[in-house]
Amino acid sequence: MTAPYLLSATDAIKKIQSNELTAEQLVRACIEHIEEKEPITHAWVSNNFPAAIERARYLDRSANQGMLHGIPFGAKDLFDTHDFATSYGSPIYANNRPSADAVHIAMMRQAGGVLLGKTVTTEFATFKGGPTTNPANPKHTPGGSSSGSAAAVADFMVPLATGSQTAGSIIRPASFCGVIGYKPTFGKISLGGSKSLSPSLDTLGSFSRTVEDAALCVAAMTGDRELANIKNINAHIKIATCLTADGSLASKETIDAIYQSSIDIGKLFNTPIADYKLPALFSDMSERHSRIMSFEATKSFTFEQNNYSEQLSQQLKGLIKLGNAISYESYSKDLEIAQTAQMELNRLFNHDVDILITPSAIGEAPKGLAQTGDPIFCRTWTLMGLPCITLPLHLGPNGLPIGIQLVAGKGRDSLLLSVAHTMMNLQR
């Protein structure tokens, strides 16, 4: 019998429903594995294992509570939880005890999920590295800012974990750790109860080891139950590769991964794969993203600057300094141009292409924990508000994962998941 902690959430649910496995057995197996792996991985800020076991026992005595019945998960410590401290990765909030769960956490619990604890986030979901190591090689960064969630799933501590992305904080760590990171369409998941970094960009999402689980997790987080029913693709799919204007920064192994994936997906769907070059309007879109993020972050952390400036990291102070140098007029212009670009991409996805294949990150996870890697290949797509998913399909020269990112049109999450699911099945 497969060890319960190795099961996907989807397979675990089937076993629980058929009485081959109990929620308590699954939760205990994950806890034992966490206790074994955590001294090296450092994925967690806090846990309450006795409460999780009691919750599992309650679920075993109860009628089916919903689509996550009995499934353990981790929550990024950027999200409020009524029964755990929520520090947002900062010493300023070390003793912060929210009175309510973030909306998506409450919905996951309502669906029968068992929260095992809070996973490590970088400081306010920005760029200062944390204690978490990469399960693929502990000498390398797991990425950020959702470092703990990506590592916990990659190390088989939990089948599901939640994350957020403002630049590349779901896609990049998922790529580095070799798991599936899914950032849905902007606004699909409520931000209620989440510490804001940049309201125009902040997007919540999931980490998992299968596409089915990614769909299941976000379905529970949103109430969009139909999302979990991944459909077969019967129509002709138009697919293209796209390196964006920052393509020259991609490593050879990333370019090779994109090329090989384009061959595989072309054969899989019996379709030619074009190479799409974004219009000139997109030539500096990653810089516009960076300015919008910096400007809004400066406003988001006004209270912390006024009251706890000495407890902010130098990295965050640098981000705030950049934001302070940006005028409101310049910020508004960047937003206006971004909106024009969004309309341009809407036309692209309505007429010319269904899925873009693009890099998830520059390459393998960099060595060291002080920095979390460059989000350059996620900035444009995050600014555009498009659904993205990274698939762990390749390895680099150091044996570390290389993800490839699929991007779909706004609101076309179901199509994105269908294509991703088909591609992952090809690898089995």
> Which residues are the active-site residues?
76, 145, 169
State the Cα–Cα distance between residues 359 and 361, nearest whole angstrom: 6
Identity at 401, one-letter amino acid code: P
> Could you report how far apart the first and last alpha carbons of the chain are, in Å?
19
State the Cα–Cα distance between residues 150 and 12, nearest whole angstrom: 20
State the Cα–Cα distance between residues 364 and 283, nearest whole angstrom: 25
DSSP string, 298-358: HHHTHHHHHHHGGGS-HHHHHHHHHHHTS-HHHHHHHHHHHHHHHHHHHHHHHHT-SEEEE
- What the block records as the tokens of 316 is 């965050």
Beta carbons within 10 angstroms of residue 111's beta carbon: 20
- Of 174, 159, 130, 143, the residue nearest 34 (C-alpha): 159
CA angle 156–159–165, rounded 5-degree value:
105
- What the block records as the tokens of 30 is 């994950």
Sign (positive or negative) of CA dihedral 81, 83, 89, 94: positive
